[in-house]
Amino acid sequence: MHTSSTDSSSINLAPIPSISALEWSSVSHIAIQDCGERLVPMSLAPSPIKVFPAYARLGIPGAIPECFVREGVYRALLAAARSLPQGISLLVLDGWRPWRVQQYLFDTLYEAILYHHPNATEDELLTRTSEFVSFPSRDPSAPSPHLTGGAVDVTLCDSDGLPLDMGTLFDEAIPASHTAHFELLGELSPPQQQARDNRRLLYHVMQQQGFTNLPSEWWHFDLGDQLWAHYGGHNQACYGPAELETIENRWRRHIS
């Protein structure tokens, strides 16, 4: 799934389209024909990509101190980063995610929503939770996107490595984190205009390399997984559930 880089002068900074809320049931029915690409660590990437494994730095149980993605995603991220204007870099926050981490994030957000809305029904709680964290699934036919290595969380940073203002923080589970949030407001303050423009830049450089965006999260992009197939209009996904290559598994396969 290699894609070529794009000259920064051709970046489209048009308004981000507003897309209706996702129906996960329509995504889980998309066929998967895994292409067999390996998971590779983003720390191998040269400038202008920076890597900050956010969940490991936050001490989340089971999180790994690296951001792994499928090889096609790795190359597409490099192409996106190289298309950015001078002085701006792509900052990778998360990629492949162990199932344990997915379960922890889902449960933690679920409990937080329940705390603030104690009278909410189970369906309401699940709907609100899955707006920002997909249901933990290792089902080969319907895996959580981050378990495939095709989903990646990214933002932009300046030449000093500091994240640009995107209007909300990464993983801030509020309506303002919806990618097109600032496109739907009236008159914007100067900081809001800057956040809107930063989102537009991120959205379009990623889109130009074949990624699709999850509309409820400005930071979440997909390539090759079922979400990508759904939003990109593809007949099937090419990334199913993935596991890290371990020395134990390698020895078991090759020692006779």
Residue ranges for the binding site?
146, 153, 220
Angle at CA of residue 75, ends 71 and 79, nearest 5° = 165
d(CA 77, CA 83): 10
CA 182 to chain centre: 20
Residues 134/102, Cβ–Cβ less than 8 Å: yes
The answer to whether residue 217 is catalytic is yes
If residue 49 lies in a helix (H) or strand (E), which one and from where to where? strand 49-51
Residues 61/100, Cβ–Cβ less than 8 Å: yes
Catalytic residue among 71, 122, 131, 217: 217
Beta-carbon-side half-sphere exposure of residue 145 (alpha carbons within 13 Å):
26
φ, ψ dihedrals at 236, nearest 5°: -150, 165
One DSSP character per residue, 126-151 reads HHHHHTTSPPP---TTS--GGGTT-E
CA 243 to chain centre: 18
d(CA 255, CA 248): 11
Binding-site sequence positions for Zn(2+): 146, 153, 220
Sign of torsion over alpha carbons 109, 111, 115, 118: positive
φ, ψ dihedrals at 166, nearest 5°: -110, 10
Catalytic residues: 217
